[in-house]
Amino acid sequence: MPEFKVVVADPAVKNPRVVPVRVVGDDGIEYSDRHKEQYELPRVRMHPELIKIVNPELGVVVVRIWKDRIGGEKVKLVGRVEEDGSLDVQTVKVPAEFMREKLGRQEALGQVMRAPAFQVRVTGEAAQRLIGLRIGDSVEGVIVGLPHVRLVIRGGSDLAGFPMRPDVPGAVKRYLLLSSGPGFRPREKGERRRKLVRGNTISEEIVQVNTVVVYPEARRA
């Protein structure tokens, strides 16, 4: 069965507001292997007022947690927002298991912001719906848990990292003499090189699919 890592970019996020918070581990929030392997996004609990401030329109936030403030080291968790009116406005709850694994403690200072991009692994019927689609085609966002938007395919790559190109038709792999675009970044003006690339159509040999959210017309009006 096919499996893809779907990268979702939110074009509405330009300069997301970053809010300082206290991050607390909660044993009541599930953190299973499916979350660790990115088949599902874990839950992140926040006060309704904090949600309003961050404004995660897709319901997805990034929590950056200080592991070592002196060394500037942070760990990151991307999760789905869940309202919890019992929390302090500046407190965010995340899975306790995540805090134990990444920090070795249950509380830390951090930041929360609307997610500009995130990724989810899809398998089974959801992955099958991507087979045969081309760069520029769209698919319902429900395949990554976003039922009210569509995702436009912008590109992708195979296991070896060879990128899909919109100007190569089909689910093929071939060498092209490139001067720009996916697969080649020239270091000098006029430089051209022969590079191996993938075609514009998703096949089972593609492992990553890059997408951009398209909001409903009513929202954009």
Q: What is the pTM of this model?
A: 0.90
Q: Which amino acid type is present at position 134? A: R
- pLDDT at 60 (0 to 100): 98
CA 141 to chain CA centroid, Å, is 13
- pLDDT at 209 (0 to 100): 98
Q: Tell me the domains of the chain and their CATH numbers.
A: 17-115 (2.40.40.20), 120-220 (no CATH)
- pLDDT at 1 (0 to 100): 79
For residue 163, what is the DSSP state? Answer: B
Report CA-CA distances (Å) from 113 to 20, 215, 220. Answer: 9, 20, 22
β-pair type (91-95, 19-26): parallel
How many other C-beta atoms can be found within 10 angstroms of the C-beta atom of residue 95?
A: 24
- pLDDT at 184 (0 to 100): 61
User: Do residues 136 and 185 lie in contact, with contact meaning Cβ atoms separated by under 8 Å?
Assistant: no
What b/e sequence results for 167-179 when a residue is b if at least 16 CB atoms lie within 10 Å of its CB, and e otherwise?
ebeebebeebebe
Q: Which amino acid type is present at position 22? A: R
CA–CA gap between residue 199 and residue 11 (Å, rounded): 25
Terminal-to-terminal C-alpha distance of the chain:
40
- pLDDT at 186 (0 to 100): 64
Report CA-CA distances (Å) from 19 to 13, 30, 59. Answer: 15, 24, 16
Read off the pLDDT of residues 24-60 as tens digits, 9 standing for 90 and up. 999 999 999 999 999 999 999 999 999 999 999 999 9
Three-state secondary-structure class, residue 141: helix
Going from the first residue of the chain to its last (221 residues), give the mean pLDDT of each consecutive group of 10, the final group possibly shorter: 95 95 98 97 98 97 93 94 97 98 96 98 96 97 94 96 93 82 67 83 97 80 48
- pLDDT at 180 (0 to 100): 66
Three-state secondary-structure class, residue 140: strand
- pLDDT at 176 (0 to 100): 81
CA–CA gap between residue 92 and residue 85 (Å, rounded): 11
Q: Please choose, from the candidates 16, 4, 3, the residue with its C-alpha nearest in 3D space to the C-alpha of residue 62.
A: 16
